[in-house]
Amino acid sequence: MEAIVNHPTELRARLYADMDPANLTPLWESLHALVPRQPRSPSVPALWRYDEVRPFLMRAGEVITAEEAIRRVLILENPGLRGQSAITQSLYAGLQLILPGEVAPSHRHTATALRFVVEGEGAFTAVNGERTTMRPGDFIITPSWTWHDHGNESDQPVVWLDALDIPTLRLLDAGFAEDYGAAQQPVLRSEGSNFARFGSNMAPMAHDAETDPHGATSPLFCYPYARSREALARLRRDAPVDPWDGVKLRYVNPATGGWPTPTLATFLQLLPAGFEGKAWRQTDGAVFSVVEGRGRAVIERDVDGQVHRSVFEFGPRDHFVVPSWHCCRLAASEDTVLFSFSDRPIHSALGVLRQERLD
């Protein structure tokens, strides 16, 4: 009897049980999970085909108005994180629908948001007293704590991808929000004045400065697709195509050269027809929005010596996620343009960003 009770396993089990009510738990039982040899994300690769998503979005348009919903959005929820409103552990993504004549009322929150226009033309987002018309492929920023409302004065439904750092703010318990009190904020400046100030490789004089007081977010809030697409087309003709990324550029904060937002990095890349990319992996989890073309993403992860492989055939307006430290290879059967965003600024700020180019 004594011998059994004094066996280390028994003694340990008794210790765990006795100290549990004191909110104490032994590190040594979870050390490897807490300090992993390499990331083992609970997020999994996933693809949302627009053909499948769009009918649900339009049904959402029939059952609730934008005004009632505040934001009529279908959240892209990672299958490994169901119930958490997250596409990766740090990022939120959703597809927002706004129908002709609707208004999504003005509010502000500490979460940083970006929009990437997926379908339709002629809706607008208003940020800090200025509207920007949304066209497919435009990348738009809603900085932390800025008033923003959306409207659609066109005759067609408009859909865009929303990306926010909501799960990161939840982790930090730093979420605040306020309603403006009226459906729409007043328009203080004519459309295009923000772009004139910050979108031409120039910047305002000191007396005219109209910048984010924290300096953390780009003062330019719309990056039109036409400009970015033209840059990629030009580089595709004039510069070598990278074997991993094709022709890829990052969006910048024109005031600093850094990322456009403190938490979200954004990219646009062109994969020429026939491109068969080499494999890469990175600690930042990335979400892709297909703008033009068709191709394939092969995403692999080694779990205890067993390779899990996802093969996604994608086309226009499809979305997919490549979680942290998964190997990804991109291929294109036609000229393909991909927008993507990730939590890279957070990894960089913490000094934990790792990127590898494989093969």
Residues facing residue 124 across a β-bridge:
133, 151
In this complex, which beta carbon is closest to ligand GTQ, that of residue 96 or of residue 132?
96
C-alpha pair distances (Å), 232 with each of 37, 103, 326: 38, 34, 26
- Which CB, 144 or 342, lies closer to ligand GTQ? 144
Which residue, 109 or 326, has its beta carbon nearer to ligand GTQ?
A: 109
**Residues 203-222, interacting with ligand GTQ (CB under 6 A):** none
Residue 146, interface with ligand GTQ (CB under 6 A)? no
Measured at CB, which residue is nearest to ligand GTQ?
162
Tell me the two tokens of residue 221.
């809030």
For ligand GTQ, give the closer residue by CB, 84 or 333: 84
- Tally of residues, the chain: 359
Our CB check for ligand GTQ shows the closer of 77 and 245 to be 77
Q: Which two tokens stand for residue 281?
A: 């992996």
Q: How far is the CB of 148 from ligand GTQ (least distance, A)?
A: 6
Which is closer to ligand GTQ, CB of 148 or CB of 347? 148
Alpha-carbon gap, residue 118 to 318, rounded angstroms: 9
Task: Tell me which H or E stretch contains 98.
Answer: strand 92-98
Shortest distance (Å) from residue 40 CB to ligand GTQ: 28
* Cβ neighbourhood burial of 296 (10 Å; 0-12, 13-18, 19+): middle
Strand order in the sheet with 336-342: 46-48, 319-322, 286-292, 336-342, 265-271, 247-250
- Beta carbons within 10 angstroms of residue 34's beta carbon: 8
Phi, psi of 167 (to 5 degrees): -65, -30
Which single residue is written with the structure tokens 């627009």?
Answer: 50
CA distance 165 to 113: 7
- The interface with ligand GTQ within residues 295-354 (CB under 6 A) comprises none
Total residues interacting with ligand GTQ, rule: CB under 6 A = 9
Strand ordering across the sheet containing 123-127: 130-134, 123-127, 148-152, 103-109, 177-179
What letter would DSSP give residue 136?
Answer: T
Give the residue with the Cβ less far from ligand GTQ, 71 or 236: 71
Question: Which of 91, 164, 264, 330 forms a contact with ligand GTQ (CB under 6 A)?
Answer: 164
In the window 55-114, what residues touch ligand GTQ (CB under 6 A)?
A: 71, 73, 94, 96, 109, 113
Residue choice 77, 102, 130, 162 for contact with ligand GTQ (CB under 6 A): 162
Please give the backbone phi and psi of residue 231, each rounded to the nearest 5 degrees, phi first: -65, -45
Show the binding pattern over residues 224-253: x = contacts ligand GTQ (CB under 6 A), - = does not: ------------------------------
Pick the closer one to ligand GTQ by CB: 197 or 317.
317
Q: What is the dihedral of CA 42, 89, 255, 354, to 10 degrees?
A: -30
- Binding mask 12-41 toward ligand GTQ (x if CB under 6 A, else -) reads ------------------------------
Minimum distance of ligand GTQ from residue 164's CB (angstroms) = 6
Q: Shortest approach of ligand GTQ to residue 96 CB, angstroms?
A: 6
Positions touching ligand GTQ (CB under 6 A) are 71, 73, 94, 96, 109, 113, 148, 162, 164
